[in-house]
C-alpha cells in the first residue's frame, strides 16, 4: 500500500519535474518577453552537450552541469544582442528566426560533432520502497525543479533586477525614461531563460541518448506548460505543471503512454477553452 502510494507520488514528481524544468526557460522568453522561441530545444541540447563534454574532460558532474547551464545562458545573451533584439515588436517573426536558428544549430552540431555524442554515467543510487526500486536521481530532478521555481520567483519578485525586468517588459519606454538600462535587462533576461533551458538539458543529460535533435522531445511539453500557465509565468507555471502532471501521470498509469500523450494534448485544449487566460489569468481574476 505504502509502496503503491509512494509510487504514484514518484511518478507525479517525475512528470512534474520534466514539465517544470523544460518549461522554466521558455516561460521567461515566451511568457514574459513574447519571443516564440522554437530554438528552445536547441538550448537544451546545448546544455546537454556542454555538460557531457565537460564531464568527459574530467569535471565532476555538478560542475559540468553548471558549465552546461552557463554556456547556454551566454550563447543566449549573445543571440539576444545580435539577432533577437529587433523582434520584440514582431513576435510571429521571432518564430521564423528561432526556427532558422534551430535548424542551423541541430544540423551544424551534426556536421561538426557527428550524429551521436557519448553519454554520461547516471549518478547516485537507487532506493527501494516495498517491491519497487527507484532511481534516486529522479528525486534530485524533482528537487531541482522546485529550486528552479523558487529561483525564478525570488529573482523576479524580490530583487532589484526583477523589478526592473518586469517594469521593462510591461512598459519599455517608461522604464527607460526612469533610468533602467533596457538593453542590458533584455539581454540578461533572455540569457537567464536560455540558461534555464541549458540547466534542463544538463540535468537530463545522464538520463538520455545524446543526439543533435534531442531537444525536440522537450519542446511540445514546454510550450504546452507555458501556455496553460498563462501570461503571468511566475503565477502560472507551477499550477500548470501540477495539473498537467496529475493528468499525465493518471493516464500513463491506467491507460499507457499513448493515451497519456494524446490525453495531455486534449487536456490542454480543454483547459484553454475553459480558462482562456491560462491558470495565472484565472488566479489573478479570483484574487482581484
Partner 1 sequence: MSAASNLLNGPQTLGQGRAFWSGAAAVLALALVYPAFVDSYDVGSSAYFLCWVFMALGLCLMWGYGGMMSFGQTFFFGVGGYGYGVIEIYLGVAHGGALASLVAALLVSGLAAALIGYFMIYGRIGGMFFGIVTFAITLALAFFLNQTAGPEWHIGAARLNGFNGMQGMDPLALPWFGGDIDLEGTPFYYFVLALLIVVYLLLRMLVNSRFGNVLVAIREDSLRAELLGYDTRRYLLVTFVIGSMLGGLSGALYCSWGQFISPSSIGLPAAAMPVVWVAFSGRSDVTATLVGTLLLIAGFQALTIYSEQWALVLMGILLAGTVLLAPDGLIVSLANALARRRARGRAVLEPSLAER
Partner 2 sequence: MKRRALLAGAAALPLFNIVGSERARADANPIKIGLLEDVSGDLAVFGIPKLHGSQLAVEEINGKGGILGRPIDLMHLDPQGDNARYQEFARRLLQKEKVDLLIGGITSASREAIRPIVDRTKTLYFYTNQYEGGVCDASMISVGAVPEQQLSTLIPWMVEKFGKRVYTVAADYNFGHLSAEWGRTLLKPLGGEIVGEEFIPLGVSQFAQTIQNIQKAKPDWLYMLNVGAAQNSFFPQASAAHLDIPMGSPIKIMLGFEHKLFPPPVMANMYATANWFEELDTPAAEDFKKRWRAKFPKETYINDMGYNAYVALYMYKMLAERAQSLDKDTIRKVIAKGDAGIDAPEGHIVIDPKSQHTSHHMRLLSVDKENKVHIVKDFGVIQPYWLGQVGCDLTKYNPKEQYTPDHLPPKR
Within residues 4-43, the interface with partner 1 by CB under 8 A covers 36, 38
State the DSSP H helix or E strand holding residue 263, giving kind and residue range, or none if neither.
helix 257-274
User: How many residues at the interface with partner 2, by CB under 8 A?
Assistant: 46
Q: Does 217 bind partner 1 (CB under 8 A)?
A: no
Q: Does 42 bind partner 2 (CB under 8 A)?
A: no
Q: Which three cell numbers stand for residue 111?
A: 556536421
Q: How far is the CB of 252 from partner 2 (least distance, A)?
A: 5
Q: Does 273 bind partner 1 (CB under 8 A)?
A: yes
Cα dihedral 232, 203, 187, 212 in deg (nearest 10): -110
Judged by CB under 8 A, the residue of 37, 102, 145, 280 near partner 1 is 102
| Cα-based distances in Å from 143 to 13, 64, 136, 203, 213 | 9, 18, 11, 11, 27
Q: Which does 203 bind (CB under 5 to 8 A by kind): partner 2, partner 1, none?
A: none
Piece of 90-98, 158-166, 186-194, 197-205 that binds partner 1 (CB under 8 A): 90-98
Judged by CB under 8 A, the residue of 66, 70, 81, 110 near partner 1 is 110
Long-range contacts of range 91-96, CB-CB < 8 Å, 24 or more positions apart?
91/34, 91/35, 91/36, 92/36, 94/34, 94/35, 94/36, 94/37, 95/36, 95/38
Q: How far is the CB of 134 from partner 2 (least distance, A)?
A: 6
Piece of 63-71, 73-81, 102-110, 224-232 that binds partner 2 (CB under 8 A): 102-110
The secondary structure of the chain in percent helix, strand, coil, rounded to multiples of 5, reads 80, 5, 20
Piece of 75-83, 91-99, 170-178, 257-265 that binds partner 2 (CB under 8 A): 257-265
Q: Does 90 bind partner 1 (CB under 8 A)?
A: yes
Q: Does 110 bind partner 2 (CB under 8 A)?
A: yes
Q: Which does 178 bind (CB under 5 to 8 A by kind): partner 1, partner 2, none?
A: none
CA separation for the pair 166, 171 (Å, rounded): 9
Q: Which three cell numbers stand for residue 123?
A: 549518478
Q: Does 145 bind partner 2 (CB under 8 A)?
A: no
Q: How far is the CB of 240 from partner 2 (least distance, A)?
A: 18
Is the C-alpha dihedral spanning 43, 45, 51, 53 positive or negative?
negative
Q: Which does 227 bind (CB under 5 to 8 A by kind): partner 2, partner 1, none?
A: partner 1
Q: Which is nearer to partner 2, 91 or 108 (CB)?
A: 108
Q: Does 284 bind partner 2 (CB under 8 A)?
A: no
What lies within 8 Å, CB to CB, of 92 at 6+ separation is 36
8 Å CB contact between 63 and 52 = no
Within residues 231-270, the interface with partner 1 by CB under 8 A covers 258, 261-262, 265-266, 268-269
* Strands (DSSP E) found in 92-140: 126-129, 132-135
Amino acid at each position: 500500500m505504502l509502496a503503491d502510494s509512494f509510487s504514484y507520488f514518484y511518478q507525479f514528481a517525475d512528470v512534474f519535474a520534466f514539465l517544470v524544468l523544460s518549461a522554466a526557460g521558455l516561460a521567461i522568453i515566451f511568457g514574459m518577453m513574447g519571443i516564440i522561441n522554437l530554438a528552445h530545444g536547441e538550448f537544451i541540447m546545448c546544455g546537454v552537450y556542454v555538460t557531457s563534454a565537460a564531464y568527459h574532460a574530467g569535471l565532476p558532474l555538478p560542475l559540468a552541469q553548471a558549465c552546461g547551464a552557463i554556456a547556454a545562458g551566454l550563447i543566449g545573451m549573445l543571440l539576444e544582442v545580435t539577432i533577437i533584439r529587433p523582434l520584440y515588436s514582431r513576435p510571429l517573426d521571432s518564430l521564423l528566426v528561432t526556427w532558422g536558428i534551430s535548424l542551423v544549430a541541430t544540423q551544424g552540431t551534426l556536421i561538426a560533432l557527428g550524429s551521436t555524442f557519448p553519454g554520461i554515467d547516471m549518478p547516485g543510487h537507487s532506493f527501494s520502497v516495498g517491491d519497487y526500486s527507484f532511481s534516486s536521481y529522479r528525486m534530485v530532478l524533482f528537487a531541482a525543479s522546485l529550486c528552479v521555481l523558487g529561483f525564478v520567483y525570488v529573482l523576479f519578485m524580490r530583487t532589484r533586477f526583477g523589478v526592473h525586468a518586469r517594469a521593462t517588459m510591461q512598459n519599455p519606454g517608461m522604464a527607460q525614461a526612469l533610468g533602467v538600462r533596457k538593453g542590458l535587462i533584455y539581454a540578461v533576461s533572455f540569457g537567464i531563460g536560455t540558461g534555464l533551458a541549458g540547466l534542463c538539458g544538463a540535468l537530463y543529460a545522464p538520463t538520455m541518448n545524446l543526439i543533435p535533435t534531442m531537444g525536440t522531445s522537450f519542446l511540445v511539453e514546454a510550450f504546452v506548460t507555458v501556455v496553460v500557465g498563462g501570461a503571468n509565468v511566475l503565477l502560472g507555471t507551477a499550477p500548470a505543471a501540477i495539473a498537467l502532471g496529475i493528468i499525465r501521470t493518471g493516464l500513463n498509469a491506467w491507460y499507457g503512454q499513448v493515451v497519456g500523450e494524446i490525453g495531455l494534448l486534449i487536456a490542454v485544449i480543454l483547459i484553454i477553452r475553459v480558462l482562456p487566460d491560462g491558470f495565472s489569468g484565472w488566479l489573478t481574476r479570483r484574487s482581484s
